[in-house]
């Protein structure tokens, strides 16, 4: 576990270096915007989505007996960093008073507290569009067909048919305690899972995975996405504010239904472990090649932050 956390930490530093190198500082008129974008994306968060992009890419190379070239590696890092910028945007907007109203994120004041509301909204918008600048730039991803397919796959995962649609449903169902498990699963898949499975999809495009390899990896990511969300709901109940870097027991306070409120703690824990095992079963026939993805699946349910 410690060894895996070190790998995650190293990955996080690589993504921070990419963001730090390519996120601009702006000029005297708009530097506050870039400062706010940098504040919420660099130097915080586990960067699990970027890790999944990189490790999915490594896995595809390994099972096809290919070497991960430096240029392919750089493409995976650029795509993973763009996805992390999108994830940071979603957290900035999620913390706003009109959404989850959370004053703390990643152990420091949320963007709208550190800056102001309009800057937080614009910093989120800025990170979202900047991510597509990276994906669409031939400096980072050389093949134009791949750039366009990746743009499509990411936009679909985070737009009205993905994350934004899931967030809408999540907001509207706040206080609707009678919601059933199917709806919770739908909301989680769209709000959180779609971006997570898009990470394996993007790596599959970059590394020319076969259709079977691609669907297997996306399936793996779907299971860890669900395990990850259930673990988040369990941590919201029992987690520690300091290690989580954000307020806990928020769903209870906001009367938001989640896997734990619907299933109860015991069944929710069992379901998270089942999802993690299903993910592992999909990849572990490649014993050596799948080591990091297996560790990631275990980590999603054993984490404390
Ligand atoms: C505002 C359009 C819009 C979408 C928001 C991501 C999201 C959608 C809401 C966050 C709500 C939430 C806490 C979901 C649980 C799973 C999750 C996304 C946790 C945060 O991701 P981590 O743990 O965070 O990867 P770090 O800080 O490590 O990057």
- Which atom of ligand 1 is closest in space to residue 124's alpha carbon? 1
d(CA 269, CA 263): 9
d(CA 53, CA 88): 16
pTM: 0.95
Pocket test for ligand 1, best of 51, 81, 94 (most atoms within 8 A of CB): 94
Say what the pLDDT of residue 187 is.
94
Percentage above 90 pLDDT, the chain? 84
Say what the pLDDT of residue 284 is.
87
Torsion angle in degrees (nearest 10) through CA of 71, 129, 127, 92: -140
* Residue nearest (by alpha carbon) to ligand 1 atom 29: 45
Residues 203 and 76 sit within 8 Å (Cβ to Cβ): yes
pLDDT of 179 > 90? The answer is no
- Which atom of ligand 1 is closest in space to residue 236's alpha carbon? 13
> Dmax of the chain from CA atoms?
56
Cα-to-centroid distance, 29 and ligand 1 (Å): 31
- Average pLDDT estimate for 139-161: 98
- Average pLDDT estimate for 121-128: 98
How do residues 13-41 score in pLDDT, each as one tens digit? 999 999 999 999 999 999 999 999 999 99
Cα-to-centroid distance, 288 and ligand 1 (Å): 31
pLDDT of 90 > 80? The answer is yes
The binding-site residues of ligand 1, defined as CB within 6 angstroms of any ligand atom, are 45-46, 48, 87, 90, 93-94, 99, 106, 163-164, 167, 191-192, 229, 232
Pocket test for ligand 1, best of 127, 129, 185, 192 (most atoms within 8 A of CB): 192
What residues have CB less than 8 Å from 64, skipping those under 6 apart? 213
Say what the pLDDT of residue 289 is.
86
In sequence order, the β-bridge partners of residue 104 are: 109
Say what the pLDDT of residue 177 is.
67
pLDDT of 114 > 70? The answer is yes
Pocket test for ligand 1, best of 191, 226, 250 (most atoms within 8 A of CB): 191
pLDDT of 280 > 80? The answer is yes
pLDDT of 55 > 80? The answer is yes
């Amino acid at each position: 576990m410690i060894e895996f956390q070190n790998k995650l930490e190293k990955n996080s530093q690589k993504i921070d270096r990419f963001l730090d190198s390519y996120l601009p500082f702006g000029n005297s008129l708009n530097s506050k915007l870039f400062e706010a974008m940098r504040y919420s994306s660099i130097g915080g968060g586990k960067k699990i989505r970027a890790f999944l992009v990189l490790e999915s890419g490594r896995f595809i190379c390994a099972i096809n007996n290919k070497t991960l070239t430096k240029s392919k590696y750089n493409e995976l890092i650029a795509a993973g960093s763009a996805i992390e910028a999108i994830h940071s945007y979603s957290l900035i907007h999620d913390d706003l008073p009109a959404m989850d109203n959370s004053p703390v994120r990643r152990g420091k004041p949320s963007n709208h507290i550190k800056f102001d509301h309009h800057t937080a909204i614009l910093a989120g918008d800025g990170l979202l569009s900047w991510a597509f600048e990276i994906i669409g730039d031939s400096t980072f991803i050389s093949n134009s067909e791949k750039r366009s397919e990746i743009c499509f796959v990411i936009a679909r995962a985070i737009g009205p048919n993905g994350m934004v649609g899931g967030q809408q449903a999540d907001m509207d169902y706040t206080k609707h305690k009678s919601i059933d498990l199917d709806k919770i699963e739908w909301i989680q898949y769209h709000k959180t899972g779609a971006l997570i499975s898009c990470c394996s999809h993007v790596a599959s495009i970059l590394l020319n995975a076969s259709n079977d390899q691609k669907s297997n990896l996306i399936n793996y990511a779907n299971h860890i996405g669900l395990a990850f969300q259930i673990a988040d709901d369990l941590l919201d109940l029992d987690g520690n504010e300091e290690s989580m870097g954000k307020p806990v027991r928020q769903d209870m306070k906001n009367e938001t239904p989640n896997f734990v409120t619907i299933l109860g703690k015991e069944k929710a824990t069992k379901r998270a472990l089942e999802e993690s095992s299903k993910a592992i079963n999909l990849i572990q026939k490649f014993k050596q090649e799948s080591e990091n993805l297996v560790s990631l699946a275990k980590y999603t349910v054993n984490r404390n932050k």
